[in-house]
Amino acid sequence: MARVVRFHEYGGPEVLRFETMAVAEPGPGEIRIAVRALGLNRAEALMRAGTYIEKPALPSGLGLEASGVVQSIGPDVAGFAPGDAVSIIPPISMARWPAYGEIVTFPASHVVRHPASLGWEAAAALWMSFLTAYGALVDIGGLRRGEFVVVTAASSSVGLAAIQIANMIGAIPIATTRSFAKAPALRAAGAPHVIASGEEDLAARLEEIAGANGVRLVFDAVGGPDFEPLTAAMAKGGMLIEYGGLSPQPTPFPLFDVLRKCLSLRGYLVHEIIADPQRLRAATTFILDGLAAGKLAPVIARTFPFDEIVEAHRYLESNEQFGKVVVTVPPRSD
């Protein structure tokens, strides 16, 4: 038996419940893990509220990221042994493979033995952020050394991962954030240019930084009215990769900029990388190499104990965090 977190109705953080459930032995190709930490993602808040791309049958589990210790392995699993320190690649369906629990079972294909230098919290904060940023900037965007890339919602865990990846490649990240409050921290995190889009003229500042040639690649989590100044500052043949929808306002279609500059506006989900074994191998190799070189490192905003996961969700939705929200799970005595 183990404690898990589930919800029986859609709503705010208060709908999350602790329940004690039997944990089945791992089946073929599966690994059972004693969880030590959870990384929280906005996708989990959206699914809990009933507004995510996946709408599960209720009651449902939740969670995309965890780190912990291999407890047991199922048939046909190679390369892992009980006692290994591992972390979880986010699954396509968190209803099928929920991470919020003291003990969880995941496909071996979604389990990674992470570097010994990473603690439980950092390991739980790693994969969603860096896989999302890698997939957009490297796999799809083909970001090159010396070129500018705009990263919106830059203080999020994905935004901070994108800044680190851009710097690792030798590109020049331009971070955008709503106000100047987080600007010093973004500069300290590696962004040479920071724009407060709620307090400055976004298009004018982008032109000032990138020049008349504009920015080839934009990595956007927001949508909304900023679509127009972003595309106005883009280079001919540029690409805007949209992976979120944080703005509550409508997103205009910048028709004439798209036409005259031959722009590509592309929707993106990290599932594209996770569902393709070859692309996922390339991504994990890139990220692990960056960790080993000291060029990539998860940024943790705040940690909460497992018993306070409702408060952790409230903090996740406050937009006050700088980096990842992590929940720690105490070791079981059995």
2-126+298-328, which class in CATH? alpha beta
Q: In sequence order, what are the residues at sequence separation of 6 or more whose Cβ sits closer than 8 angstroms to the Cβ of residue 121?
A: 37, 67, 300, 303, 326, 328
Decide which of 3.40.50.2300, 3.40.50.720, 3.30.360.10, 3.30.420.40 is the CATH code for 130-271.
3.40.50.720
Range 9-29 average pLDDT: 95
What are the residue boundaries of the structural domains of the chain, listed by start?
2-126+298-328, 130-271
User: For residue range 107-126, what is the model confidence (pLDDT) as tens digits?
Assistant: 999 999 988 889 999 999 99
Domains 2-126+298-328 and 130-271 share a fold: no
CA dihedral over 294, 188, 321, 226, signed as positive or negative? negative
User: For residue range 169-221, what is the model confidence (pLDDT) as tens digits?
Assistant: 999 999 999 999 999 999 999 999 999 999 999 999 999 999 988 999 999 99
Range 262-266 average pLDDT: 97
Please answer whether residues 236 and 262 qualify as being in contact, where contact means their C-beta atoms are separated by less than 8 angstroms. yes
